[in-house]
A and B are shown apart, each in its own frame.
Chain A
Amino acid sequence: MTAAELFQSIIASLPEIVVVTGACILLILGQFVRKGQEHLLVWASVAVVLIAALGTLALASEVRPAYTGMFIADRFAVFFKLVFYLATVLTFLLSQRYADIEGIGSCEYYVLLLFTLSGMMIMASATDLLSIYVGLELTVLCTYVLTGFLRQQRRSNEAALKYVILGAVSTGIFLYGVSLIYGLTGTTQLDGMAAAVAGNPLDPGLLLAVVFIVAGLVFKVGAVPFHMWLPDVYEGAPTTITAFMSVGPKAAGFAVVLRVFLNPLVAASDVWIVVAVIAVLTMALGSFVALVQDNFKRLLAYSSISHAGFALFGVVAGGADGIASVMLYLLIYSFMNLGIFATVIMMRNGDFSGEVIEDYAGFAKFHPGLALLMLLYLFSLAGIPPTAGFFAKFYVLVALVERGFVMLAVIAVLLSVVAAYFYIRIVMVIYMREPERAFDPALTPLVRATLAFTAAGTIGIGLFPAWFLRLAQHSVFGG
């Protein structure tokens, strides 16, 4: 690598460098922040993310391959990075008061979130199985720790331990697949692999390798049959981290899934049948198991499994519309899911946990405005127009039917009906029950801002999807 190439590479990865550097500086300066001034940490972290976002947008004009084919800064990566920035900033805003209440407002919390962000950014830009691995590990290592951040609580510790063990196994499986690929094709670069096997795409050894890689990635997006960690981790982790994980790392997982699965190698190996089966099972399991949940966080965990299943249908469809539909789905999902999590986080105040669905009985009577917001997020998650959630599902269905998968579309919509039941059940509890207690939501200005922003996204993209659709379609790689 010449000096000029190195310079180009550094330019291309500038946003990642900003985030990592910012996190390191924050780690040192954070030690000098006195008690009661934790909001400084929030603002500093938000500033780091915003600088990185500016960098990303400034560099978005052209495709920049970097580090000899390990990394690429293309529009596809830019789109995902914007989703990550969105998720991270909103998590910071939600965290300020929540961290106070839970007593976890140390600087490590914010620093780890920034490191997670950098890991996700690497995942979105990685074009080599090894750089994918680096991004993946950086992301999950940080989230392991964040999951266990409620040190006093047993279930938080338990969740973290479960997550570490299962995560390590899945990483091992992924690495094994990578080593097989390297043995068979002599390269770990996605483009190189495709060229190496252009002759016989159905080598049984390669198929095995693909299956291993699929298994590793399926774990990260929380799809069947590697979904078992997800409800426990979502329930045990601090709610802000749950909100973050359900959006950020999940989207990052999908970024890798799209890059890997839609690579010519995988596309040639009929792996879509496997993905289709996974998608159906994931959505079915998420939707049916969510029906019987009483814990709000656990319900949202299953709901997130079910949504991952729906997004996987877009992966099955493939093609430019398929990829764009997954991307749009993830963007919209970020808005509505962070919105509904914001309402759960806000309920946590004093001794009140607000985690059981019944806790919301009659909420609409005292807080009609907040109840209306919850109604909006829930109907959006259920996919009812005119919310954004409907358009997300609609576009995935369009992509499916375009490729002739009408039966899959029918299955997808029937499972959506099942999923709709548990969302409207929450609406029922909020609106149609008599209140048993007074509510005291922790509504700080930052939480209000988050709610306003996510609500604007949820209804705005629903009513005016054209611009966002074009953004997603322009960001499809290779197109």
Chain B
Amino acid sequence: MGFPLLTLIIFMPAAGAAVLMFLRSDDAVRWTALSVAVLDLALCIAMVANFDTTTHEMQFTETHPWVPALGITYALGIDGISALFVFLTALLACICVLASWVAIDSKVKEFMISLLAMQALMLGVFCALDLFLFYVCWEAMLIPMYLIIGVWGGDGRIYAAFKFFLYTLAGSLLFLVGVIVLYFHGGETFDIRALMAQDLPFPVQSFLFFSFLIAFAVKVPMVPVHTWLPDAHVQAPTAGSIILAGVLLKMGAYGFLRFSLPMLPEASVHYSTLMLALSALAIVYGGLLALAQDDLKKLVAYSSISHMGFVTLGIFALNLRGLEGGILQMFNHGVTTGALFLFVGLIYERTHTRSIADYGGLMKAAPVYTTFLALFTLSSMALPGTNSFVGELLVLSGGFAANLAVGAAAVLGALLGAAYLLGMYRKVALGPASVGARFKIRDVNAREITAILPLAVFVLWVGLYPKPFLNIIDASVKHLLAQVHGKGSGQ
């Protein structure tokens, strides 16, 4: 067992949060939080640089006994799929700190502590190789997120925080029962790798599939359990929205990839049509809802539902292109939607309104802002040359291969996406400058550009040269497919 890199990556933010408790001045808190987040990102880059893309085996593994009597271990490790999200989490954490620099002006210390605690737990979720450890991190996230929404959110924050908490808790606890059932059927172990090797009878797989589905569907969120998302997104502070959209939603999809598919292959194949139909429903329904929004943040929130529909569609197409596209699209959505929420937050800080009707002609007042906004808007609607194009194209070709009707619905959703995003951009950035008269708009400053630039880089990098990203996940995805079809082919 070598250097405990993953432990270091996870505990760095946690230690940072502990240090913050002893700091007094707000500026010291901000700078410390930023340095911790950047340092953690540097570690993640080191991790990705040393990552071996030729194998599907877990890497950087660590195992220590935790509760031996119940077979619980502290086991960490990453494969290509989780590596991508560990990196994304660390990246977005830095951006969150920057985004909250002035937006959060009360209880700064508590906010940064929550943010770093959140980061540690999210990294724990993606690195865990023990189901119990995974669950602990998964559910513990509710505490900081509840506070982030409830303390620093908008006017309806308390309602939104409760709704978020209870929805997620209900889903998670049913998942917990499933986890325990799996524990007893899988030979009394929580080791994810050992559980993947189990061959469970179909009725058990079915039960577990739905028990897991509830938890993951709430997180993704899939229609019809999506209703917490608009509330939580709209009320959360900018950093909260970025985390929610960028990382939290990915965890649901990650759950499907890490547990449902490899551990319950027969059930996954058997219920894939249902999952495809739900995904298509989310794509179209989310798109229609987004089309009707006047609130900028709500629009981006509903567009998330639609975009996450593409992700689950790709996953449950259960073929190589679909899966790779789905996973890439998870990363893309984190970058692009994270950026869009950041943009909504930036403009809201200046004008204190999110209503699209209040805006117009921003291009003149804030040219840099609107240029970048154009880039991310186009990325969100999957224009060729941007990251989402690559992802959505893979998902669509996988989706058509799996089910023609679902593929067609997804195309319709993509069209809707173009409609509401272009409409939003036209009303906000172009046209007569209605805003200038009412508000004094300042263009983005250096700190804000620092937050935007890395995201813009990834939009273009993935869009123009996606090979390195696909390389990272390739071996793991192929292995995953072999697991699904190797065991599931009997059905």
> Hey, which bits of chain A sit against chain B, CB under 8 A?
364, 368, 375, 379, 384-386, 390, 394-395, 397-398, 401-402, 406, 409-410, 413-414, 416-417, 420-421, 424-425, 427-428, 431-432, 465-466, 469-470, 473
Within B176-233, the residues touching A (CB, 8 Å) are 176-177, 180-181, 183-184
CB of A473 within 8 A of CB of B147, answer no
CB of A432 within 8 A of CB of B157, answer yes
A145 to chain B, nearest CB (A): 41
Report how far A421 CA is from B463 CA in the complex, Å.
44
B374 beta carbon closer than 8 Å to chain A: no
CB of A409 within 8 A of CB of B180, answer yes
Q: A431-B147, A432-B161 are in contact. List 17 more A-B contacts (CB 8 A).
A: A368-B110, A384-B169, A385-B135, A386-B136, A390-B136, A402-B184, A406-B181, A410-B177, A413-B174, A420-B166, A421-B166, A424-B165, A428-B161, A428-B162, A465-B67, A466-B66, A466-B68
B210 to chain A, nearest CB (A): 12
CB of A431 within 8 A of CB of B180, answer no
CB of A384 within 8 A of CB of B140, answer yes
CB of B173 within 8 A of CB of A414, answer yes
Find chain A residues with CB under 8 A from B157 CB. Answer: 432
CB of B176 within 8 A of CB of A413, answer yes
Find chain A residues with CB under 8 A from B68 CB. Answer: 466
Report how far A414 CA is from B169 CA in the complex, Å.
9
The DSSP consensus for interface residues of chain A is helix
CB of A386 within 8 A of CB of B110, answer no
> Hey, which bits of chain B sit against chain A, CB under 8 A?
65-70, 110, 135-136, 139-140, 142-143, 146-147, 150-151, 157-158, 161-162, 165-166, 169-170, 173-174, 176-177, 180-181, 183-184
Contacting residue for A469 out of B67, B110, B136, B177, CB 8 A: B67
CB of B166 within 8 A of CB of A406, answer no
A372 to chain B, nearest CB (A): 9
Report how far A397 CA is from B161 CA in the complex, Å.
27
A-B contact pairs, 18 of them (CB 8 A): A386-B136, A395-B70, A401-B177, A401-B180, A401-B181, A409-B180, A410-B174, A413-B173, A417-B166, A417-B173, A421-B162, A424-B162, A424-B165, A427-B146, A428-B161, A431-B151, A466-B66, A473-B69
Find chain B residues with CB under 8 A from A417 CB. Answer: 166, 169-170, 173
- Nearest neighbor of B113 in chain A, beta-carbon distance: A372
Find chain A residues with CB under 8 A from B143 CB. Answer: 375, 379, 384
Find chain A residues with CB under 8 A from B65 CB. Answer: 466
A323 to chain B, nearest CB (A): 14
Report how far A425 CA is from B165 CA in the complex, Å.
11
- Nearest neighbor of A376 in chain B, beta-carbon distance: B143
A106 to chain B, nearest CB (A): 42
Given contacts A384-B142, A424-B162, contact A466 B69 (CB under 8 A): yes
CB of B69 within 8 A of CB of A469, answer yes
CB of B180 within 8 A of CB of A424, answer no
A182 to chain B, nearest CB (A): 40
Report how far A364 CA is from B165 CA in the complex, Å.
20
Given contacts A413-B177, A414-B173, A431-B150, contact A398 B139 (CB under 8 A): no
Find chain B residues with CB under 8 A from A406 CB. Answer: 177, 181
Find chain B residues with CB under 8 A from A398 CB. Answer: 70, 180, 183
Given contacts A401-B181, A413-B177, A424-B162, contact A432 B151 (CB under 8 A): yes
- Nearest neighbor of A391 in chain B, beta-carbon distance: B67
B191 to chain A, nearest CB (A): 16
- Nearest neighbor of A432 in chain B, beta-carbon distance: B150
Given contacts A398-B70, A409-B180, A469-B70, contact A432 B158 (CB under 8 A): yes
B10 to chain A, nearest CB (A): 13
Report how far A277 CA is from B67 CA in the complex, Å.
32
Report how far A473 CA is from B173 CA in the complex, Å.
25
CB of A414 within 8 A of CB of B140, answer no
Report how far A348 CA is from B135 CA in the complex, Å.
38
CB of B69 within 8 A of CB of A470, answer yes
Report how far A410 CA is from B178 CA in the complex, Å.
9
Report how far A364 CA is from B69 CA in the complex, Å.
39
B123 to chain A, nearest CB (A): 15
B469 to chain A, nearest CB (A): 32
Find chain A residues with CB under 8 A from B147 CB. Answer: 427, 431
Find chain B residues with CB under 8 A from A427 CB. Answer: 146-147
CB of A397 within 8 A of CB of B174, answer no
- Nearest neighbor of A401 in chain B, beta-carbon distance: B180
Find chain B residues with CB under 8 A from A466 CB. Answer: 65-69
CB of B70 within 8 A of CB of A416, answer no
Find chain A residues with CB under 8 A from B140 CB. Answer: 384-386
CB of A385 within 8 A of CB of B139, answer yes
Given contacts A368-B110, A406-B181, A431-B147, contact A390 B173 (CB under 8 A): no
Given contacts A384-B143, A466-B68, A469-B70, contact A397 B158 (CB under 8 A): no
Find chain A residues with CB under 8 A from B161 CB. Answer: 428, 432
Report how far A331 CA is from B181 CA in the complex, Å.
25
Find chain B residues with CB under 8 A from A473 CB. Answer: 69
A89 to chain B, nearest CB (A): 28
Given contacts A385-B140, A394-B176, contact A428 B150 (CB under 8 A): yes
B208 to chain A, nearest CB (A): 11
Report how far A385 CA is from B183 CA in the complex, Å.
19
Report how far A421 CA is from B158 CA in the complex, Å.
12
Find chain B residues with CB under 8 A from A410 CB. Answer: 174, 177
- Nearest neighbor of A468 in chain B, beta-carbon distance: B67
Report how far A291 CA is from B68 CA in the complex, Å.
38
Report how far A425 CA is from B110 CA in the complex, Å.
19
Report how far A431 CA is from B157 CA in the complex, Å.
12
B380 to chain A, nearest CB (A): 32
Report how far A469 CA is from B68 CA in the complex, Å.
10
B216 to chain A, nearest CB (A): 16
Report how far A413 CA is from B178 CA in the complex, Å.
11
Find chain B residues with CB under 8 A from A413 CB. Answer: 173-174, 176-177
B159 to chain A, nearest CB (A): 10
Report how far A466 CA is from B110 CA in the complex, Å.
31
Find chain A residues with CB under 8 A from B170 CB. Answer: 414, 417
CB of B135 within 8 A of CB of A401, answer no
Report how far A285 CA is from B140 CA in the complex, Å.
27
Find chain A residues with CB under 8 A from B66 CB. Answer: 466
Report how far A384 CA is from B145 CA in the complex, Å.
13
CB of A416 within 8 A of CB of B184, answer no
Most buried by B among A406, A409, A421, A432: A432
Report how far A429 CA is from B143 CA in the complex, Å.
15
Contacting residue for B139 out of A368, A390, A432, A465, CB 8 A: A390
- Nearest neighbor of A418 in chain B, beta-carbon distance: B166
Find chain B residues with CB under 8 A from A379 CB. Answer: 143
Report how far A427 CA is from B165 CA in the complex, Å.
12
A304 to chain B, nearest CB (A): 21
B180 to chain A, nearest CB (A): 4
CB of B173 within 8 A of CB of A416, answer yes
Find chain A residues with CB under 8 A from B180 CB. Answer: 394, 397-398, 401, 409
A180 to chain B, nearest CB (A): 39
B202 to chain A, nearest CB (A): 17
CB of B150 within 8 A of CB of A384, answer no
- Nearest neighbor of A382 in chain B, beta-carbon distance: B169
Report how far A431 CA is from B66 CA in the complex, Å.
33
